[in-house]
Amino acid sequence: MVSFSLLASIAAVALALACQISLASANQKNDQAGSPPVVAGTVNADGLLIQNDSPLPDTYPHANYSLLFHTQGGSSVLHWRLQKGDLPPGLRLEDSGLLHGEPLRAGEFRFTISVTENGPQQAVQKDFVLRVVEAITLNWKAAAHVTGNRIDGTVEVSNTTADDIDLTFIVLAVAENGRATAIGYQRFPLLHATTAMELPFGDTLPNGAYVVHVDVVGEVAPKDRIYRRRLQTPSPLRVTVGP
């Protein structure tokens, strides 16, 4: 025979479980009431529409970025939030729809922004892409190569910022014993919006194997900004002609 105390214990456990289920259901309803449902599209039943196009305008590291999201339709009081994904580190989205800050690093960032009006209307969301590009790009035009007793090559440099940059360009051929020989050097203002400027380099070298290092350092003194980029040959280049 089942004792009275055991039946009482079973009843108490069942009652506690029922209370937990009821409380969880109530919390879920409260959460749903506090956050308007998100419609999986770009416009809700009331005609609220996010108008900004994707991708958003590019920027570059440590540049001041400011963009205001806006809508078609809806009331004058709107609330914006990051629905999913990640903003570039250094940027933040205000409730007013202002995206601002200074991104800390380059990369391509994908995220979803939602907006809602006051009241129970559905929130509208839209996917966006924001590219943070390098302030200075440096690429091989003609990779470093051996011609007789010389090492020659050409690189391309671009300035993606809105500033003129004081650029220093230096190329070193580093021998197996660690001795470095300069085979290219320039210093000049790299004007804003300059694209794929060609910078040749080269010089004669003694017999030996050399790793070529190409470095550019750009400075914007009024804004206290320094940009650096580097290229390097993947393996030593061997000069066999000459003394």
Question: In this predicted model, what pLDDT tens digit does every residue of 224-239 receive, in sequence order?
Answer: 889 999 999 999 999 9
Residue 116 or 111, more confident? 111
Q: What is the pLDDT of residue 62?
A: 84
pLDDT in tens, 58-100: 998 888 899 999 998 776 789 999 999 999 999 999 999 999 9
All domains of the chain in start order, with CATH:
38-132 (2.60.40.10), 136-239 (2.60.40.3880)
- pTM of the model as a whole: 0.64
Distance CA(82)–CA(76), nearest Å, equals: 20
Three-state secondary structure call for residue 210: strand
Distance CA(113)–CA(50), nearest Å, equals: 9
Using the structure block, give the residue that is written with the tokens 């400027």.
Answer: 197
Which helix (H) or strand (E) element contains residue 123? strand 123-132
Q: Where are the alpha helices (DSSP H) in the chain?
A: 4-34
The token duo for 70 is 């806006």
Low-confidence winner among 61-65, 139-143, 205-209 (lowest mean pLDDT): 61-65
Using the structure block, give the residue that is written with the tokens 């005609």.
Answer: 47
Strands 208-220 and 225-232: antiparallel
Residue 162 has pLDDT above 90, yes or no: no
Distance CA(217)–CA(180), nearest Å, equals: 18
pLDDT in tens, 20-51: 434 444 444 444 444 555 544 555 556 789 99
